[in-house]
Structure 1
Amino acid sequence: MKEGIVLTLVLMLLAASVRSQAQSSGCWTKQQEQLIFEHVRAFPEQTQMAYAFIENGAVAFSGVIVESDTMRLVDNHQKVFEIGSISKVFTASLLTALVVEGKLSLDDPVNDHLPFALRDSIRPTFRQLANHTSGLPRMPSNFDAAVPFDPANPYRNYGADLLEAYLTTQVELAYQPGERSEYSNLGTGLLAYVLTQMTGLDYQELLEKYLFSKYNMIASTTRRKEVTSCLVSGLDQSGKATSNWDFSVMVGAGGILSTTEDLAKFALAQFDESNRELELTRLPTFEVNEQLAIGLGWHIVKTPAETELYCHNGGTGGYSSSIVLDTDRRNGVIILSNVSAFHPESPKIEQLCFSLLRTINQSLKEQ
């Protein structure tokens, strides 16, 4: 009973504070405040969420933190979170940057760029790795063979030697390539590994050369030691501090750390019609059903209003994230959080992202 009273009072204070911001940013509304409150209250003490709201190309930031059964506003747009599988969009963007440079074609098999032969002479293409149609399983079957295997940091010791051993002696396709699209961390991890092999640059160097420097993403990295001072601590599913994840050879599947400020810059670049390499990532390459298609990295959701939304979520042991963009309207929402992907309510973050974008689109429709 006490908690309910406190939360109600805090909601009133939050609403008053946020309304004062809304007058200057034009982004917050009463409906958005209520949506945020309803979703955040499901999460434990010290939960932190950072938001970027993009409306017609203009960006506003806000954030909340749960403390002592209350929620308060916090300025965290420059705070760093693990973004998990949103990294896959960046890996696909590296691929298309190299395509635009003429260094490869999407339908080239990756075999020629690997220092070993794949078992059974399978020949996945760059496109198939980027849109999850390669037939590769979600994870390699020898994933837990890493020594030691740490469930709190599961990718840490899965190195290139284990990936090579799997691909040369154990890999089995789950279905015929191109037959369907099934999400594969292995596929995107392999894609990033191939790109490093063919360029001679490691994944971080590729990101810096083609993406981070181009879009002034100064706080984004795969090297956690570089951002320790502004890193938000991850929480496990019970709300206790937990280990960060080190992705080793699978870094392209989920190893980037970033801020809402940096991701908003990357989102705004998606609205630039002259940006060929980013446009390539958003072109549909496989239709799952009438409501969902797959680009390169992006999932493409087709709405009843015939608008296409480009989205991806991410999750690690201590973080959950989501990004949804409406490029036609130049709108979007980005949420970063230290909610564990294993928390039973973590899907609420992606749900909130879509709901907040709907409020922005609806607001513009009513103007």
Structure 2
Amino acid sequence: MSNPIFAQTENYKTAIENFQENYNSEKYEEIFNAFSTEMKQALPLENTKQFLAGLKAQAGKIESKEFIEYQQGTYATYKTKFEKMVLAVNISLDNENLVNGLFIKPYEEPTETTKNIVNTLNNYSKEISEIIFSQAKDFPNNTQLSIAIIQNGKTNYYGIIKTNDTIKPINNQDKIFEIGSITKVFTSTVLASLVENGKLKLTDEINLYYPFSFKNDINLTFKNLANHTSGLPRLPENLDLSNEANPYKSYGKTQMEEYLKNHLSLEKEASKSYSYSNLGTGLLGYTLGLSQKSSYQDLLQKNVFDKYKMQNSFTSSQHLADKLIKGQNPNGKIVSNWDFDVLFGAGGILSTTEDLAKFANAQFNPKNKELALTRIPTFEVNENMKIGLGWHILKSKNGEDLFWHNGGTGGYSSSMTVNTNEKTAVIILSNLSAFHPKMENIDKLCFELINETEK
């Protein structure tokens, strides 16, 4: 007798077959037409097309699939072999057999036996060693983590590398990693410095710095771009994701102006809700450069890197030689760095934990008024999170404000949190791919370590 929790029913079999056929032939509208009304509202047609086109560029066509189980009695999970990777395609159907849930993530094989990973972090305190080991043991060999913990006026560094299934200490606080979306905090810091110097107002509309009208006469403010309340989509619809190894490299001025003139649309009403947008922060950085007749990268260098003596922070991965830690894909193979053009403000910085520790320590000095401005709440996302300018504001175990951001690119993951009241901070940079199934362990480790400073 078959167990209904583990047996694939005919309606799900039909749904996944149709998904595979339409996905492989790029009939994305057919996939959208199979959505329930609620699903269509949650993921409108253009978003569906963009998501599936991005998936196709990243993973390739579906070659085969295998039904695994029903998750919580609702979602059917399929181990799906794409041309470039294996992903879990999770799908749920309503009473009319319309798709009312679809999410895709890296597939994790059920593990019956765990490899005997060795912890040799004996020169770290027992508590720190065990916390780091527990979160890092499942990462691929050759993964490095560079960690800074600021507490009691001191900055301590903890570097690790996994080699031959062994977690070992390594000095890497001066090594360079992509920091991904932690860049967004720096973009907001450049904005705040210009506001503090009377060059801009948060409520100014960016439209003033473009010699053409935006589509549908949509107006966007600096503040809305900095706190993700602009209503813009996560990515511009004219971003070509076919270069999955370096997706942002070719999106330049021409493409941005084309988007603003002919494709600009809002998914949500401005100022009314939070919707995380790489496009929004990239547009913010680019416009800051235009506003000062400069480039965002030059403003970043002058207003932040130079001011806080961040001498090992860069806007390009070129000419960094062996100071650069190579990024890895989910299987631990070296991948190319990501290059950014006009969307640089969303995720283009490379830095070290030493430099980010300088930036974190600067948050504790009230004289740095532009840093204080970025930490003032500007929007309440939900009861557990607010947002300032760039920073997400959470609560610590002791009920204090934590200013947090993370980052992820094809070859790197990062996380940073700051408690200005206690003058504590944790920074983690790594060459763990954002597409690795355990990448959330980087954030978990960051929060575990900041909680450790409260004891």
Does TM, normalized by the shorter one, top 0.5? Answer: yes
- Please state how far the C-alpha of 1:304 moved relative to its aligned partner: 5.2
Aligned to 2:309: 216
- Please state how far the C-alpha of 1:32 moved relative to its aligned partner: 1.8
Deviations 1:308-329 (A, max 9, x none): 0000000000000000111100
2:373 partner letter? L
Q: What is the DSSP-based 3-state SS (H/G/I as helix, E as strand, rest coil) of the residue aligned with 2:240?
A: helix
Report if the CA contact (8 A) 2:416-2:425 is conserved: yes
Aligned to 1:14: 121
Aligned residues: CA RMSD: 1.3
- Please state how far the C-alpha of 1:247 moved relative to its aligned partner: 1.3
Aligned to 2:54: none
Task: Report the Cα distance in structure 1 between the residues aligned to 2:210 and 2:389, rounded to whole angstroms.
Answer: 21
Task: Report the Cα distance in structure 2 between the residues aligned to 1:140 and 1:3, rounded to whole angstroms.
Answer: 42
Aligned to 2:412: 319
Deviations 1:150-202 (A, max 9, x none): 10111111111111111110111001101101100000000001011111222
> Is 1:76 aligned to 2:183, yes or no?
no
1:203 partner letter? Y
Task: Report the Cα distance in structure 2 between the residues aligned to 1:96 and 1:114, rounded to whole angstroms.
Answer: 21
Q: What is the DSSP-based 3-state SS (H/G/I as helix, E as strand, rest coil) of the residue aligned with 1:208?
A: helix
1:103 to 199, 221, 238: 199
Aligned to 2:162: 66
TM-score by length of structure 1 reads: 0.91
Aligned to 1:330: 423
- 1:1-367 to 2 correspondence within 5 Å? 3-4=115-116, 7=117, 10-11=118-119, 13-15=120-122, 17-18=123-124, 29-144=125-240, 149-303=242-396, 305-362=398-455
Q: What is the DSSP-based 3-state SS (H/G/I as helix, E as strand, rest coil) of the residue aligned with 2:121?
A: helix
Deviations 1:109-145 (A, max 9, x none): 1110123321111111100000000011110011127
TM-score by length of structure 2 reads: 0.74
1:155 partner letter? Y
Task: Report the Cα distance in structure 2 between the residues aligned to 1:270 and 1:348, rounded to whole angstroms.
Answer: 25
Change (3 A) 1:276 1:2: closer
Q: What is the DSSP-based 3-state SS (H/G/I as helix, E as strand, rest coil) of the residue aligned with 2:382?
A: coil
- Please state how far the C-alpha of 1:239 moved relative to its aligned partner: 1.1
Larger Rg: 2
Task: Report the Cα distance in structure 1 between the residues aligned to 2:198 and 2:286, rounded to whole angstroms.
Answer: 19
Q: Which structure has the highest helix share of the two?
A: 1
Report if the CA contact (8 A) 1:291-1:303 is conserved: no
Report if the CA contact (8 A) 2:396-2:451 is conserved: no
Change (3 A) 1:253 1:82: same
Report if the CA contact (8 A) 2:316-2:339 is conserved: no
Q: Which structure has the highest strand share of the two?
A: 2
Report if the CA contact (8 A) 2:397-2:451 is conserved: no
Which one scores higher on RCO, CA 8 angstroms, separation ≥ 6? 1
Task: Report the Cα distance in structure 2 between the residues aligned to 1:93 and 1:135, rounded to whole angstroms.
Answer: 21
Deviations 1:16-59 (A, max 9, x none): x22xxxxxxxxxx3222111101111100100000001003310
Task: Report the Cα distance in structure 1 between the residues aligned to 2:243 and 2:133, rounded to whole angstroms.
Answer: 35
- Show structure 2 runs of 5+ residues with no match: 1-112
- Show structure 1 runs of 5+ residues with no match: 19-28, 363-367
Q: What is the DSSP-based 3-state SS (H/G/I as helix, E as strand, rest coil) of the residue aligned with 2:318?
A: helix
Change (3 A) 1:326 1:170: same
Q: What is the DSSP-based 3-state SS (H/G/I as helix, E as strand, rest coil) of the residue aligned with 1:300?
A: strand
1:214 partner letter? K
Paired residues in the alignment total 343
Deviations 1:252-303 (A, max 9, x none): 0000000000000000000001211000000000001121000000000024
Report if the CA contact (8 A) 1:204-1:221 is conserved: no
- Please state how far the C-alpha of 1:227 moved relative to its aligned partner: 2.1
2:437 partner letter? P
Q: What is the DSSP-based 3-state SS (H/G/I as helix, E as strand, rest coil) of the residue aligned with 2:426?
A: strand
Task: Report the Cα distance in structure 2 between the residues aligned to 1:204 and 1:294, rounded to whole angstroms.
Answer: 24
Report if the CA contact (8 A) 2:403-2:419 is conserved: yes
Task: Report the Cα distance in structure 2 between the residues aligned to 1:244 and 1:71, rounded to whole angstroms.
Answer: 25
